[in-house]
Amino acid sequence: MIENKDKKKKKEIQKLLIDIAVKIAKQGKGCLFVIKENGVKYDLLFEKDIKGFDIFKNERRLEVLALIDGACIIDKKGNLIAYGANIKNVKSFKGFGTRHSAAYTASEGNTAILASEEDRKVKIFQKGKLIMQLDPYEKNIEYKTGEAVNILESIGAGTITTIGATVLAPALGISLLPGIIIFGIPYYLMKRYGSDLKGLLKIHKNIIKR
């Protein structure tokens, strides 16, 4: 029961942060959210003058703070514990800027959700891997973020290969929903359909038609 409750809370947090990231990306701006599940090393770019708060009770405040340089760090209960956070010991994410590198680094053991100013996409990292990308300009994308979270939880980042700058090439990802690309999808398809070859072929045919 406790595990199911924790999973539900995690999905609620992910959905809220993805929704905010989509709104910010549509404005041509960037942000970075890190859901702190394990350790993440950071310091603050400036002295914090706003105390932590429940992100579900203060969505608008979170959206404003997300636009400040640095990352917003959220705990597993859905509380903002830091903003304007400078991720330490950053590893380069080849081909992209500092925010991508920070997301890539912070996602080791955590979930990082990024809105990119560079390409106006929302990207989700887990366990040091980029595993999902959302196009905020896709029609009705706001109504698909819940399903994106369900897919995110179903995939499991441990089986997905690390991808660098060429990740945006369509051949390296697959779209089960318009506007949402999942990377490392062959494992997901096998997990979902097992030996059902017809099911796999049906998915591939639908992708080719798009």
The residue with tokens 């999902």 is 132
- Give the C-alpha separation, 56 to 12, whole Å: 9
pLDDT in tens, the chain (210 residues): 455 888 899 999 999 999 999 999 999 999 999 999 988 999 999 888 889 999 999 999 999 999 999 999 999 999 999 999 999 999 998 888 999 999 999 999 999 999 999 899 999 999 888 889 999 999 999 888 988 898 777 665 444 443 333 333 344 566 667 888 887 654 444 445 444 434 444 544 444 344
Output the pLDDT for position 151: 77
Output the pLDDT for position 148: 87
pTM of the complete model: 0.80
Q: Determine contact, residues 121/133, Cβ cutoff 8 Å.
A: yes
Q: CA torsion sign, 137 to 161 to 71 to 75? A: positive
Number of Cβ within a 10 Å radius of residue 203: 16
**Number of independent structural domains in the chain:** 1
Terminal Cα-to-Cα distance of the chain (whole angstroms): 40
Report the relative pairing of strands 129-134 and 180-183 from DSSP bridges. antiparallel
User: DSSP characters for 125-152?
Assistant: EETTEEEEEE-TTSTTGGGTHHHHHHHH
Output the pLDDT for position 176: 64
Q: Where are the beta strands (DSSP E) in 45-153?
A: 53-54, 71-74, 79-87, 111-115, 122-126, 129-134
Structural domain span for residue 26? 2-209
Q: What's the CATH number where 151 sits?
A: 3.40.1700.10
H/E element, 174: strand 173-177
Q: CA torsion sign, 73 to 127 to 27 to 89? A: positive
